[in-house]
Amino acid sequence: MSKIRPSKGAPYARIMGVGGYRPVRVVPNEVILETIDSSDEWIRSRSGIATRHWASPEETVAAMSIEASGKAIADAGISADQIGGVIVSTVSHFKQTPAVATEIADKLGTGKAAAFDISAGCAGFGYGLTLAKGMIVEGSAEYVLVIGVERLSDLTDLQDRATAFLFGDGAGAVVVGPADEPAIGPTVWGSEGDKSETIKQTVPWTEYDSSGKFPAITQEGQAVFRWAVFEMAKVAQQALDAAGISPDDLDVFIPHQANMRIIDSMVKTLKLPDHVTVARDVETTGNTSAASIPLAMERLLATGQAKSGDTALVIGFGAGLVYAATVVTLP
């Protein structure tokens, strides 16, 4: 018989507050066209993107995260010193160690909160949300801050016609806390490493000096599109099934903001009813990887397109290839 005392966590977990930060500089397609042979019409038709935000030197991964987190903490109605965990998903913090989460936790005033980074690309927010839910139910923290943050402008090859227009910068954060009823459903997540070459960094950091070119993100557009539309629609449906709901029960759909064509195709494949609000933040924010879902969530709530208590399906997918989908109640 085990002598270990059982955990005394909350029965369930929920998102309590959300916050976002978009860099001050807005970059229209015209700026991108200075370095690639294309047109505004082509970029919009291929991606749906009209503008994106690029960070200044002062808008670091940590600085953007702190701004977004402060808003999420205030929205949740708690104080920073109540947070027991800080999870940061990013692929664009270039210092290997220490984790940027520790700097963020300290500057927010969380005390001695557990703090760590994860690398799960565009699915990183879903991974972090799942970990936070486990921490709260397990009892190791009462409140957990989950941050998705990227400075993808640092990893963009402005001469690459296939990707130069895609990426943006920003940070999104949520506070996850205890709940008396289910508010974050089971997560359907996984990876398909045999497809890892479809989205990747051009060269490892160890080869940077010899290559003479700063590493950038590259992808096989058509392969990614097919995978996202057909395979991720199946994952999204599995998340609905796991939560015990149908598309008719949904109020909001918040997919990773990769590309407007992918979003619209997923809506069609899932046969979402007309009453479901669909996040299309990609038009003005671009693809911000791990930050895209919380940024889109924050904008939907701020603009009144979604409201507290709505049932939302969230799904992230990207480099790895990795994915994570779940159904949540909006804060």
Residue 4 is given by DSSP the state P
Alpha-carbon gap, residue 24 to 67, rounded angstroms: 13
Q: Is 30 helix (H, G, I), strand (E, B) or coil?
A: helix
DSSP string across 247-263: GGG-SEEEE--S-HHHH
Candidates 217, 227, 302, 298; CA nearest to 266 is: 227
Alpha-carbon gap, residue 240 to 306, rounded angstroms: 19
Q: Is 73 helix (H, G, I), strand (E, B) or coil?
A: helix
Rounded-to-5 percentages of helix, strand, coil across the chain: 40, 25, 35
> Active-site residue 287, yes or no?
yes
Which member of 53, 93, 122, 259 is catalytic? 122
> Active-site residue 122, yes or no?
yes
Residue 109 is given by DSSP the state T
**Which tokens sit at 291?**
């930050």
210 CB contacts (<8 Å, ≥6 apart)? none
Count CA atoms closer than 13 A to 205's CA, side-chain side: 7
- Assess contact for 247 and 270: CB atoms under 8 A: yes
- Assess contact for 160 and 199: CB atoms under 8 A: no
In degrees and rounded to multiples of 5, residue 5 shows phi and psi of -70, 135
> Active-site residue 259, yes or no?
no
Count CA atoms closer than 13 A to 230's CA, side-chain side: 6
Question: Which residues are known to be catalytic?
Answer: 122, 256, 287
